[in-house]
Structure 1
Amino acid sequence: MAEFEVATGASGIPGGDDRGRRAAVQTAFEGLLQIRRLMNADAADPEGVPAEWERRQPVRAVALALEAAGVPPSATDAEGRRTATGYCLGAAEGAGMVRVEWLGPPGSGAGYAAEDALRNCAAVLRRLGWEALEYRGPRRHRYLEVEPTPAGPSRR
């Protein structure tokens, strides 16, 4: 069985038909929640605390959380041109942090939609125990920096 490939928005969308992809994402996300329940059994809300696996692979974990919530990933073609509007993830400057951007093809209006779209991303991630702060870069480009909340039962 092939390893599940997350959609980071930095390349093409992983293969499969839409329904098959949705089922694979949901199965992977349910697996992640099960890992959380097992690893965070002493937490008040075990599903609301990122597990150690997520802390070691934050880009994969954030991508899975966003796609499972129905947030679309961006995508590029073989030449690197943006072909879809959605989230695009990459490592942020801080260790264990993820940068979330809202990108799309030229003329897609992604820049105008970024504020609301990133707020939605932040809300999804906060419900799952991630801290998400919005920033503005050059030319007022909006993005989020995301990191897992501190571990431990005292958090909640």
Structure 2
Amino acid sequence: MAKPPTAAQRRIIEAADPATGRLTGSEAQLAALVRHRLAFRHPRPPHAFFLTPAGHRIREEAPGRAAPSPETPAAAATPSGIFAARTGTEPAPPPGADGPARARDVRSAWEGLLEMRRMTNADGARDRPCAWERTHLVQAAALALEAAGCRPGPEGYEVGETPQPEAVAVRDASAERLRACAAALSAAGWQVSEHAERPGGSHYLLASPRRAG
């Protein structure tokens, strides 16, 4: 962002829902926050606006809130400022990247996804994946795992695509961690089964978003 938010923009940011980051304000005010990459607009009706990780950082720097540690690096995000869950296939993050800022961004992203489920699932269910997750399988599964406290990367899980429709593969060298991943995905509304690469080979998970009924 080229310049700090205005006083009016700060008031909107500070008034955001603490769990989901949902914003209220005029269309022009919210559009300005989007231009500054402090908010994004949900693509589905009712097209609500939510804080990006950068917006959450501004909110937490408000008077009366604990400011993030100056040495804490910013959380990984896409060029647009939208949060990106770790699939375990990225380069190792720098030291300190898994600190409070990352935990906050993961929590906010997960709460935002639950709110997306509520708004877009026909029955308003928050315990079952929504249409967005079915078109972003790897990112959705990775977010569910990271939000549950599972660890990605060289000493943790990797999430990848598979030839099967609506299925991702989750691999981990540790059988115990793999079971933890299975439990986390099941709790997040995914159907999970364990398979072996070949008889006697390493095991992996196949996970698909659970459907209604």
TM-score of the two chains, using structure 2 as the length reference? 0.57
Greater fraction of residues in helix: 1
Q: 1:7-58 CA deviation, whole Å, 9 max, x = no partner?
A: 0001125674511111111000000011111122526xx1211010001101
Greater fraction of residues in strand: 1
**Counterpart-to-counterpart distance in 2, 1:33 and 1:14:** 26
Q: Which has the higher contact order (CA 8 A, sep 6+)?
A: 1
Q: Which runs of 5+ in 2 are unaligned?
A: 1-36, 38-80
Q: Which residue of 2 aligns with 1:133?
A: 193
Relative to 1, partners in 2 of residues 1:10 and 1:39: Cα closer, same or farther, differing over 3 Å?
A: same
Larger Rg: 2
Q: Which residue of 1 aligns with 2:127?
A: 48
Within the alignment, does 1:38 sit opposite 2:119 as a pair?
Answer: yes
What letter matches 1:39 in structure 2?
T
**Counterpart-to-counterpart distance in 1, 2:93 and 2:110:** 16
Q: Is the 8 A contact 1:47 1:128 kept in 2?
A: no
Q: Which runs of 5+ in 1 are unaligned?
A: 75-83, 103-109
Q: 1:128-156 CA deviation, whole Å, 9 max, x = no partner?
A: 21111100114511100111112x3xx1x
Equivalences, count = 131
Percent identity between matched residues is 38
- Please list every run of at least 4 consecutive aligned residues from structure 1 whose deviation after the TM superposition is greater than 3 angstroms: 13-17
Relative to 1, partners in 2 of residues 1:72 and 1:17: Cα closer, same or farther, differing over 3 Å?
A: closer
Q: Superposition RMSD on alpha carbons, in Å?
A: 1.7
TM-score of the two chains, using structure 1 as the length reference? 0.77
